[in-house]
Amino acid sequence: MKYSCLLLLGSLFLNAHAATSDTSSAIREEFREWLAAYEHKNLAGTVDIFSKHAISTFAGGEDAGIERIRASYKKSLAANGPKRTWKPIEMEIGGDGDLAYALTDWQLIETQADGSTSVRLTNRSVDVFRREGETWKILRSFTIPADQRAVKLSCEIRLPSISADTFSGAAAEVWQTLMRWRESYNRRDLGGTLAPYDPAITGLYAGNTQDDLAKLRDSYTRSFAQNDRQRSIDFEPEEILSSGSFAFVRDHWTSTIRTSQGQTQRVSRGIELWQKNAAGEWKLRHYLSYLVCETGAKSAADTGGLEKLADDFWAWRGKYAPFTGDDVNRMERPGGMRDWSRASIDQRRKDLEQFEARWKKMDASHWPIPQQVDYRLVGSALSRVRWELDQNPRWKRDPNFYIEQTLTALVEALTVPAPYDKARSREILTRIENVPSILKQGTENLANPPAPFATVAVQNLEGIRQRVRKMSNSLASSTTLNPDKLNSACERASDALEKYQQQLKQKLPTLSQQTALGRDAYIWFLRNVALMPFTPEELLAMGKQEWNRAVAFEAYEKNRNKDVPPLKIADNIDNCIKDAAEKELSIRKFLVERGILSVPDWVQHYTLRATPEYLRVLGFTETDDFTGPSRLKENCIRYVPEPSGKLPYFWRATAMDPRPITVHEGIPGHYFQLCLSWKHEDPIRRHYYDSGANEGIGFYAEEMMLQAGLFDDSPHTREIIYNFMRLRALRVEVDVKLALGEFTLEQAAKYLHEKVPMDELTARQEAIAFSTSPGGAITYQIGKLQILNFVAAARMQQSDKFNLRAFHDFVWKNGNVPISLQRWEYLGTP
């Protein structure tokens, strides 16, 4: 008897759509007992589902017999930590006669002490059951990651193989069908290649998204159209089991790709489930497979491969990346003096050329999509350095750049909470002592900076000696430094800063007013760094549409709330900090209870703290500390001023309700996203590339949480969210027009001041930042729109199977990856 039934979430245990087949019922019962045994840490009961002849395979590992299966479960059940349970998301049971299969997606659920749960991983497995007397036992188990986790490659694993001459009957028929498929593929015969596939075929190659017939047709069509390479494939059978109209195949195959640059060979392993149709033809119904090994001139396994390149690049980048006023792109750096001399810059350019040459030598076109994404990420990171050195060379056109390399670098060190131990104190002093030499180098590099940039730098340095003295006096007791030595270094730094300011003042009358970088450079940034496919005109249209929507929604909300008493500013800073802490906890709970996003308990808290005097008097960067990869056990800190009605734009909103800024900057925004990305199992994805994803996620989170109901208790807070939307939409127009020369800096500041509206100080700070660093201000709005497009595409592709929390978990974990690449990896299509 042949049987097949699909069991969706819940039906395996609730019998909502129970299969009528006795076999299906028996296998469901086996899984019930297995899950119960695993939950109760019953080793004997957990292993009882397996035949004594069982072979279990997990992608990237060696095959395991029953004794190794038992040892693996013994270790798993003895592990301490959060409670773990397996949950079947979808299961299909089919087969014929004495063989059956269960094709299942499994989630491993972790339950914390407070009752919160999160999905640790997702696997897809095929378990082949054989009837043994009155029971069904797993004879073969084959599992691969279903959540884009990397599979360990090894060219040392010896894979089993048998001669095809041993096959007879149904096994021989299936093998002959597979050989006809190979011949069709090797001669690029699309019709013959597709012929063995069942119309309802599904398949999953580890690291990619699920295949169906339409995707396979598109993939083969593109592959066969590539004339710059030759492809061939050959199979080695491992075993074929059959019963009636069902057959199970386990095999591995070698794909060979030949180009003008050399030959690459990829060994993959998989299983196939075949079904004979009414016409007597064997059709491939399902498959699972994974990459075992890759060799050749362009393989990922080369010692000079992508991971080695990324490791070398990021070690180099930590030493030489410029400091900026942004908080998202901060990195953990080695200490010591910095050098911005012409000779040092020329050497960086040579280093970059070597990195670029290594990157360009790799042919990633045949890699699994996640590895292709990593390749594009490294390319984006290299392009950012090229942008900094040559396309937007602030080191030779923006005097504010050297304020960032001196004072911003110092303040960044001071955002880590005091007190400072000997090592941190020494680094703080080093950055102060580094000020004179960097400013001297800057003066030599800045030939003819634009007058508006020079004017801003002059203004930023007003009263700098008194500010540095106040910083030194208030800082000394929090360090291990000798106060006299600290004060002496600060005086020398002040001398250099005042000299730098005076030199800029003298140059001002001769400098050009032109600040625009130009269309070509701007498009270069979009294509190579941000990996955004839009033109400047498309960006303007997108921003305009969102501006209209934000203004309209804010008007609706204000009209709705016209009789609601206004929000009150916090009475004092202590109450503001306490209120923020309580609301941060409520946001975490809201995310979990509403099924929006998993919140691991290891992620610490986003907290507010009064701004220390040594930070208040300086400024020059975002006054917060997102911690870092080596400080994940520490809370994030946002330094805030004393509440008052005179606070600037963002601080005033925070003093009325801390949740909007918490959602963007803390949880589920930047701090939370960065923590998840810093723990990514793929080291290439732990690093910042461009803020399109980071700021897109932060801005997306604001309205997403509004729609989810977080601000239902505070009508005027919803108005704040809509006003934030007005600002982010306007930022697109300001960014583009500044870059193209259609706005001056002063026009941009006035435009923001009048149209958001916002205070003049904040508007001017925004315009300065956007003018000196084109492409940064679009990231909020355009990144958000890309995520919304991504959500819609995922929802339509997955239909009722779409899970918002699983989707958000993927986006947040990969939050350093441009959204266009996330979409490609998640959906399987560019």
Q: How confident is the model at residue 584 (pLDDT cuts 50, 70, 90)?
A: very high
Portion of the chain with pLDDT greater than 90, in percent: 76
In 3-state terms, the chain is what percent helix, strand and coil (to 5)? 50, 20, 30
Distance in angstroms (rounded) separating the CA atoms of residues 765 and 106: 50
- Torsions phi, psi for 7 (to 5 deg): -115, 115
Show Cβ contacts of residue 463 under 8 Å, excluding neighbours closer than 6 positions: none
pLDDT of 97-144, one tens digit each? 999 999 999 999 988 877 888 888 899 999 999 999 989 999 999 999
pLDDT at 7: 38
Distance in angstroms (rounded) separating the CA atoms of residues 648 and 251: 66
Is the domain 2-145 a CATH 3.60.15.10 member? no
Q: What is the DSSP letter of 165?
A: G
* Residue 299: pLDDT over 70: no
C-alpha 297, offset from chain centre: 30
Burial 517-553 (b: 16+ CB within 10 A, else e): beeebbebbbebbbbbebebeebbebbeebbeebbeb
Between vectors from CA 101 to CA 98 and to CA 107, what angle results, nearest 5°?
150
Structure tokens at 810: 């993927």
Q: β-strand 197-205 against 246-259: which pairing, if any?
A: unpaired
Q: β-strand 262-276 against 282-296: which pairing, if any?
A: antiparallel
pLDDT of 232-266, one tens digit each? 899 999 999 999 999 999 999 998 887 766 678 88
Nearest alpha-carbon partner for 658 in 591, 585, 593, 550: 585
Structure tokens at 405: 């390399």
Between 252 and 9, whose confidence is greater?
Answer: 252
Structure tokens at 766: 């925004």
Find residue 138's DSSP bridge partners: 50, 129
Structure tokens at 456: 């801003």
Among the listed ranges 354-368, 456-470, 602-616, 790-804, which one has the minimum average pLDDT value? 354-368
Structure tokens at 384: 């950012």
584 burial via Cβ count (<10 Å: 0-12, 13-18, 19+): buried
> 595 in the Ramachandran plot: left (φ > 0), alpha (ψ -120 to 50) or beta?
left
Q: How many residues does the chain have?
A: 830
Among the listed ranges 337-346, 619-628, 685-694, 785-794, which one has the minimum average pLDDT value? 685-694
Distance in angstroms (rounded) separating the CA atoms of residues 628 and 637: 12
Q: β-strand 117-132 against 2-8: which pairing, if any?
A: unpaired
CATH number, domain 164-296: 3.10.450.50
Helix (H) or strand (E) holding 237: strand 230-243
Q: How confident is the model at residue 27 (pLDDT cuts 50, 70, 90)?
A: very high
Task: Give the CA dihedral 763, 766, 772, 774, nearest 10 degrees.
Answer: -120
Q: Hunting for tokens 């504010």 — which residue is that?
A: 400
**Other Cβ atoms closer than 10 A to 373:** 24
Mean pLDDT of 483-508: 97
Structure tokens at 569: 């500013």
**Other Cβ atoms closer than 10 A to 360:** 10
Chain region(s) in the chain for CATH 3.10.450.50: 2-145, 164-296
pLDDT at 296: 65
Treating both helix axes as pointing N-terminal to C-terminal, what angle do 435-445 and 483-507 enclose, rounded to 10 degrees? 10
Structure tokens at 595: 């099924």
Structure tokens at 274: 């075949």
Show Cβ contacts of residue 283 under 8 Å, excluding neighbours closer than 6 positions: 196, 197, 198, 201, 274, 275, 276, 277
C-alpha 647, offset from chain centre: 34
Q: Which long-range contacts (CB under 8 A, 24 or more apart) does 428-434 make?
A: 428/475, 428/479, 428/481, 429/481, 429/485, 429/486, 429/489, 430/335, 430/336, 430/337, 431/406, 432/486, 432/489, 432/490, 432/493, 433/337, 433/489, 433/492, 433/493, 434/337, 434/338, 434/406, 434/409
Straight-line distance from the first to the last Cα atom of the chain, in angstroms, rounded to the nearest whole number: 43
Assess contact for 160 and 63: CB atoms under 8 A: yes
pLDDT of 520-532, one tens digit each? 999 999 999 999 9
Assess contact for 138 and 54: CB atoms under 8 A: yes
Q: Average model confidence (pLDDT) for the chain?
A: 91
* Residue 795: pLDDT over 60: yes
